[in-house]
Amino acid sequence: MDEGAAVVRTLDGPGPVLDRLDAEVLRPSFSDDELSPPDELREGVASGALSVLWTDGGARGPLAAAVGDFDRRHRIVLLTWLAVRPGLRGGGIGGPLLDAAVATWRTAHAPCLVLAEVADPAHHTSEAAHGDPAARLRFYRRHGGRVLDLPYFQPALGPGRRRVPHLLLVVLHADPGFAGSAPDTVDGGVLRTCLEERQAASEGAVGTDPESAALWQAVERPGGVPYRPDGPQGLSPDRP
């Protein structure tokens, strides 16, 4: 491979490449509360529950990773992590990787819904280590992402971990079968069941706290979950 070339590959299983992606790409890009422990990442890849596409930089090593968690029962793929090695962000590496990941998953799991969790720029500030939330949201929008109108949060990923609040749930691909009954919506029933099961698996139970209750109420709106109108930074007009 040419030293400057970058090739998107699909990871076959756990091993040295996954360990390098975890240590050199994912860990520097996310907080501990946002990431699963390394052994859980290895187990997920080994079982096939997690799908990993990565950018091979040849002599430069692994440059970026996209990790998808496929819920077979509901046919929903959640892009749990997309990250580029620090120092290379904004250099055109993440876009081809995201496009390849979505194309791979929508083909392999058709029909399906592909989602991503993105920090809300209205609540999360830019950090040198973790990047600029506003730039990240613009990136997803350039690649076809649409924000669902939900008060979304990431459930705590195990004992001793905290929830990650104020996230946006972004649709990267939606098969027509996932549409709600109202125009330009996503079916809230299948979305709620998937989110409840994910929360129960992570936190031990479906939440009844105010944060969870607000999410369930928003998901259950008649007609489906609407997309937010485009506005500054992709936010709805009533938000800062």
Q: Is the Cα torsion angle 180, 219, 153, 147 positive or negative in sign?
A: positive
Question: Is residue 195 situated within a structural domain?
Answer: no
Structural domain of 143:
7-176
pTM tops 0.75, yes or no: yes
- The answer to whether 53 and 77 are in contact (CB under 8 A) is no
In a domain, 2, yes or no: no
The reported pLDDT for the residue numbered 71 is 95
Please give the share of the chain, as a percent, with pLDDT higher than 90.
Answer: 81
3-state DSSP call for residue 239? coil
**Whole-angstrom distance, CA of residue 158 vs CA of residue 76:** 21
- With a pLDDT cut of 70, the percent of the chain lying above it is 91
- Do residues 156 and 202 touch, judged by C-beta distance below 8 A? yes
Among candidate residues 127, 228, 214, the one with its CA nearest the CA of residue 170: 228
88 belongs to a structural domain: yes
1 lies in some domain:
no
Tokens 């390098």: give the residue. 20
CATH number of domain containing 64 = 3.40.630.30
Q: Is the pLDDT of residue 226 over 80?
A: yes
Sorting pLDDT into bands at 50, 70 and 90, what band is 1?
Answer: very low
Residue 235 falls within a domain, yes or no? Answer: no
Whether residue 176 has a cis bond before it, omega within 30° of 0 = no
Q: What pLDDT is recorded for position 129?
A: 59
Asked if 218 and 185 count as a contact pair (C-beta separation under 8 A), the reply is no
How many structural domains is the chain composed of?
Answer: 1
| Residues 170-212 pLDDT 10s | 999 999 999 999 999 999 999 999 999 999 999 999 999 999 9
Residue 234 has pLDDT above 80, yes or no: no
Q: Is the pLDDT of residue 238 over 90?
A: no
Quote the pLDDT of residue 128.
55
When pLDDT is cut at 50, 70 and 90, the band that residue 124 belongs to is confident
The mean pLDDT of 99-106, rounded to a whole number, is 98
Long-range contacts of 16-23 (CB under 8 A, 24+ apart): 17/54, 17/62, 18/42, 18/45, 18/52, 20/61, 20/62, 21/52, 21/54, 21/62, 21/65
Give the pLDDT score at 217. 97
Q: What is the pLDDT of residues 77-102, one digit of tens each?
A: 999 999 999 989 889 999 999 999 99
| Residue 97 covered by a domain | yes
Residue 205 domain-assigned (yes or no): no
Is residue 35 over pLDDT 70?
yes
If you average pLDDT over residues 203-231, what whole number do you get? 94
Q: Is 200 helix (H, G, I), strand (E, B) or coil?
A: helix
The residue-averaged pLDDT of 123-128 equals 71
> What are the tokens at 144?
């076809």
pLDDT digits (tens, 9 = 90+) for 140-169: 999 999 999 999 999 999 888 999 999 999
pLDDT of 2 above 60: no
Mean pLDDT over 32-57 rounds to: 95
| 101 within domain boundaries | yes
Considering only residues 125 and 90, tell me which one the structure prediction assigns the higher pLDDT: 90
